[in-house]
Amino acid sequence: MATAVGLATDIARSAGVGGALSRAEGGEISSREVVSVSAWAQTKSTSRWCSFSRCVASPAAAAAAANGHLVKRSKPSSASLSSYRGLRRAGVTHSLSEPFSPHTLFRSHETAENRDGGNCPTGVQVRATLADVHVKSKVDATMPRGESWAVHKFGGTCVANAERIGNAAKIIVDDPSAQKAVVVSAMSKVTDTFYEILRLAESRDESYLRVMESLYQKHKETAFALLGPSDALEKFMKKLDGDISNLQAMMRAIFIAGHATDTFSDIVVGHGELWAAQLLAASICKEGVSAVWMDAREVLVVSPTSTQQVDPDYELSGERLDEWYQQQQAIPDILVITGFIASTPEGVPTTLKRDGSDFSAAIMGALLLAKSITIWTDVDGVYSADPRKVSEAVVLSTLSYQEAWEMSYFGANVLHPRTTLPAMKYNIPIIIKNVFRPSFPGTWIGPSTSSDQDPAISEESGSVKGFATIDHVAIINVEGTGMAGVPGTAGEIFMTVKEVGANVIMISQASSEHSICFAVPETEAKMVAKALEIKFKKALGAGRISKVEVLRNCSILAAVGQKMASTPGVSATFFTALAKANINIRGIAQGCSEYNITVVVDQEERIRALKAVHARFYLSKTPVSVGVVGPGLIGGTLLEHGIDLTRWKEILQEKGEPADMAKFTEHLRAGYLSPNRVMVDCTASAFVAEHYDDWLQKGIHIVTPNKKANSGPLQQYLKLRNLQRKSYTHYFYEATVGAGLPIISTLRGLLETGDKILKIEGIFSGTLSYIFNNFNREKTFSGIVAEAKASGFTEPDPRDDLSGMDVGRKVVILARESGLQLELEDIPVQSLVPEPLQSVETADEFMQGLPAYDLQIGEQLEEAEARGEVLRYIGVVDCVKNEGSVELKSYPKSHAFAQLSGSDNIIAFTTTRYRDQPLIVRGPGAGKEVTAGGVFCDVLRLAAYLGAPS
């Protein structure tokens, strides 16, 4: 180790001068002391400083003293600059723009009597000042790196107040890792508040002072609550007071100028992280563990590439990290680092832009070669979709780096889009955890393996990990036949977009090159369109480009999954789910890597679209919004048994509104309910059936036992069925014919398998089945009707059943399903209502007059019994004769129709396959329970068609 005198002499000689040396105190300077030598030139009347420093223990401290003289006292000679640059290379980082007096740090002995300016001396004498300061031994030359380090990052909500800062400190202390680096954001809303202060100051609005005062009080109150009366509190408050004073001066300058540069703004907004880091470090120390805080601007070096992007300089940042480490007096247990802020290679303060603290943590993890990076937030992890939009979204236990990057790019708010990149460089896993539920495992993000399978989702859908949306985008469509085969058109388009500073989110181009469309934020659409119109003014005038079109109010929906590339059918499933939800797609993009499939949909459809694809890939149950029209016997039973609505009657009574079909329809269409909508019409109303066209056009599926639509005018029926096929909607009406019996589905099954229908005949009315199953010589016809009415087997007015029109409508429905184009008027219907009673006003009058006609129908019963037969009221569809009928007929007691009991229905299908022995379907065909069951079965069948697992 050189002696103090020898060291001073070396420095003096490096300036090319010689002279005497003096010393503040006698004796040798030990290796644990700082040596600072200032050489100065003197004439008889004037003196001028040329200062140099060389360090034994603390280069920065010595440089601070020397730099003060360099700036304030003289223009240094080339020799002095050479010495200074040597110090900079040796690790001295004190800025020349920050003059610092040695008097505050060193005991100095001055030998100059006059330091006033003057001409350069011709005779030079050199004297030196030696300052003795005892310091601790310096730490090792380089920062320890490796898997002993665990990096943690706490977002603004995690340190929003004193309680949460204390909670974060406890989490850090409880981590058993050997070394811990903690990156911290500003307290919640503080960065936003700083930007608001800047805006107010630039606007010359003096209310910025009030906002700044509230910011000061927030941190003061937090510090008092967190640290209590202590040296740590006093130290923090001294720093806070000084910073606020400086900020007020800066804001006043901005207020006067009416403008703040980007650098000035970055300096201001970075204070939130500085204060949060100091508070968290002090809180950790309060737990009995040593911790120091680091201003990341001293270490982290980034190069801005645009207004919203920066690139880290890992090599220079690593060197700065080692330099910072060399200045420390001891190795800390925990290192608390400011997030969000950094410096340029020139030392100018900057930021990592909005939400950059995650990026800071990943960069520090890469610099330290850490074993893990844990991002603490206020959610349980990365969800399969935004849980605010899809309540069934699940927490994904694993993601690959690529999947996490894609999901964050497309709007998943858990990670900054570039966070994964530094971690990927060294295969450092990132763990997303909930600060309020630290025991929850969260989401692990790391290198992918072929065996990865997330238990949160099914094996069938494992190829797709999640879905995300970007809202408020616009599509720019540049189209024209003159674009095809012309090199450079796409380049000119996107160069123009770049020149106006717009962000292109998605690009799609047809292989014909006839059009190029791309998505930009909606706020930038007008600017981009205008720039393109100017750029292609000649091409537009000549017709080579036909239009520059802007499609507003769009959203981007992306499906993300690394295994999509090796799984056939993912795209088909994705687009089928959107089609079944009646979602129109405005644009499509997919890279060859197949990490994502991206589509553009209307903004108002984005939530339904997200729910539809999420449900289709088995990440959640298939949601269906159900609207029930007519909560009477059948509808009420459906609500009580098919769907769990415990208090629907009370709610309807308390909050029910007058029926308004248009308003009800729009309520059901609301995207927040479900991607799939079904209207269940439980009425017998022709008025309600008239709305079917409108519902289908709006993508609403229909389930109904109402026969009016399918048995109404033939042209209206054909139009309805055609619209249903074109609109990708479903129309189920099994209960229109056999209540809960599978009549329609059986008929369709026969036709779809190639069978030919010859005849369909049966007892289609449960009411009339009950009447004739119990009609005998011991009971009169009117007595049986009264008994059926009392038992609830008939409509309130039994004439609706006895007229036979209900059976006639069922015959028309079956005839049309079989391919016959029959109108209801084409079906001869034998009415059981005596003609004189058809016009009476009330059901009671009808029931009072019915006994007078018992003899007439009693005679038909006697004739049938004389032949050993029974009476049955049947409907017939004769496909050979192209006709249908409804009538009262007699059948031998051995016939299947004679074997019925109660209110059972029976239908016989005679086909080419079942010619000798008809196919029989038999069972209960009336009653609210079985009909509601049939309706609910159709609802479940619809859910299966929409993607629910079978």
Judged by DSSP in three states, 525 sits in: helix
Nearest to 350 by CA among 305, 286, 398: 305
CA-CA distance, 519 to 473, in Å (whole number)? 6
- Of all residues in the chain, what percent carry a pLDDT higher than 70? 79
CA-CA distance, 54 to 50, in Å (whole number)? 14
Phi, psi of 722 (to 5 degrees): -65, -45
| Ramachandran sector of residue 902 (left: φ over 0; alpha: ψ -120 to 50; beta: rest) | left
State pTM to two decimals: 0.66
| Both structure tokens of 282 | 């002090």
| Element holding 817 (H helix, E strand) | helix 805-817
Q: Which residue has the higher pLDDT, 566 or 342?
A: 342
Nearest to 518 by CA among 543, 487, 490: 490
| Both structure tokens of 692 | 């079917």
Residue 783 CB-density burial (10 A; 0-12 exposed, 13-18 middle, 19+ buried):
middle
| Both structure tokens of 802 | 């006895």
Cβ atoms within 10 Å, residue 318:
18
Please, which residues have CB within 8 angstroms of residue 780's CB and are 6 or more apart in sequence? 851, 854, 858
Please tell me the predicted confidence (pLDDT) of residue 569: 82
Cβ atoms within 10 Å, residue 348:
14
pLDDT at 836 over 80: yes
Q: Where are the domains of the chain?
A: 149-377, 464-618, 740-926
End-to-end Cα distance, the chain = 83
CA-CA distance, 530 to 543, in Å (whole number)? 17
List the single range of 15-24, 217-226, 593-602 with lowest mean pLDDT: 15-24
Confidence of residue 497 (pLDDT cuts 50, 70, 90): very high
Phi, psi of 384 (to 5 degrees): -65, -20
Please tell me the predicted confidence (pLDDT) of residue 24: 34
Report the range out of 482-491, 802-811, 897-906 with the highest average pLDDT: 802-811
Confidence of residue 79 (pLDDT cuts 50, 70, 90): very low
Tokens 């019409």 label which residue?
Answer: 681
CA-CA distance, 323 to 342, in Å (whole number)? 16
Please tell me the predicted confidence (pLDDT) of residue 330: 76
Please tell me the predicted confidence (pLDDT) of residue 663: 85
CA atoms within 13 A of residue 269's CA, in its CB half-sphere:
29
pLDDT tens digit sequence for 117-161: 333 333 333 333 333 333 344 555 789 999 999 999 999 999 999
Nearest to 710 by CA among 729, 684, 728: 684
Beta 443-446 vs 398-400: how paired, if at all? parallel
| Both structure tokens of 140 | 């090792």
For the four alpha carbons of 135, 140, 141 and 142, in that order, the dihedral sign comes to negative
CA-CA distance, 613 to 617, in Å (whole number)? 6
- Of all residues in the chain, what percent carry a pLDDT higher than 90? 50
CATH of 464-618 given 3.40.50.300, 3.30.2130.10, 1.20.140.10, 3.40.640.10: 3.30.2130.10
Tokens 């800390």 label which residue?
Answer: 332
| Both structure tokens of 184 | 């911290």
Q: Give how far the C-alpha of residue 627 lies from the chain's centroid of Cα atoms, to the nearest Å.
A: 28
Residue 771's alpha-carbon distances to 142, 574, 882, in angstroms, are 99, 53, 30
pLDDT tens digit sequence for 504-525: 999 987 766 688 899 999 999 9
Q: Do domains 149-377 and 464-618 have the same CATH topology?
A: no
CA-CA distance, 361 to 138, in Å (whole number)? 27
pLDDT tens digit sequence for 688-736: 999 999 999 888 899 999 999 999 999 999 999 888 888 778 899 998 9
Please, which residues have CB within 8 angstroms of residue 604's CB and are 6 or more apart in sequence? 553, 671
Cβ contact 387:468 at 8 Å: no
pLDDT at 84 over 80: no
| Both structure tokens of 768 | 């009339």
What is the rounded average pLDDT of the residues 804-812? 94
CATH superfamily assigned to domain 149-377? Acetylglutamate kinase-like (3.40.1160.10)
Q: Which DSSP string do the residues of 333-382 spell out, in sequence order?
A: SEEEEESSEEE-TTS-EEE--TTTHHHHHHHHHHHHT-SEEEEEESSSS-
- Alpha-helix residue ranges (DSSP H) falling in 741-804: 743-752, 766-774, 781-790, 799-802
CATH number of the 740-926 domain:
3.30.360.10
Residue 360's alpha-carbon distances to 57, 161, 347, 447, 732, in angstroms, are 30, 22, 17, 20, 57
Crossing angle for the helix pair 271-286 and 262-269, to the nearest 10 degrees: 20
pLDDT at 348 over 80: yes
Q: Where in the sequence numbering do the catalytic residues fall?
A: 810
Please, which residues have CB within 8 angstroms of residue 78's CB and are 6 or more apart in sequence? none
What is the rounded average pLDDT of the residues 440-457? 72
pLDDT tens digit sequence for 397-411: 999 998 888 888 776
Please, which residues have CB within 8 angstroms of residue 495's CB and are 6 or more apart in sequence? none
CA-CA distance, 745 to 733, in Å (whole number)? 10
Nearest to 463 by CA among 569, 388, 539: 569
Please, which residues have CB within 8 angstroms of residue 238's CB and are 6 or more apart in sequence? none
